[in-house]
Structure 1
Amino acid sequence: MSRKTIALGALLAVGSAFTATAQQRPQEPQPDLPCDAFRKNDDGEWVAKRTVMVPAPFGMVEIKADQVVEEDLQERLDAQCK
């Protein structure tokens, strides 16, 4: 093996280690949801009672009245709004 190949392999290994470490940082907890703005429908899914803005990892998201919410928000509502 040439020195260039060994050096390149070492750089790639170090870069991969930094990338893996960066991806393992814990996420900040998301703010509380307005539980009073949601209800469960007959199928057990969370539905917005009114148009409401909710915090998401990438910013605020508008949920329209009578809209069934996405799976990740279903899980957050299950955990928070019992």
Structure 2
Amino acid sequence: MSINGSQMWETAEQNSPELPREWTLWRYRWMPQMAGKYTLLARAVSQREQQQLEDENPKDGSSRVRRIQVSVAGLK
């Protein structure tokens, strides 16, 4: 996961699927410091971190980086 436009990546928690190609669930605990709009980036990498950051064909529906837009309001 990246919360700073891919300048730094952090590892999310992931469950262990029973089969190699099985869907997996993951979570990333993030505590924003202030209200506002944020873009979180998520990507999957192999154990050797073989994953391209840029999507060569963004119109084919297979983006390598998932952009998640969030709005945070009312922090105390």
Normalising by structure 1, we get a TM-score of 0.23
Q: Say which one has the larger Rg.
A: 1
Q: Which has the higher contact order (CA 8 A, sep 6+)?
A: 2
Select the structure that is richer in strand: 2
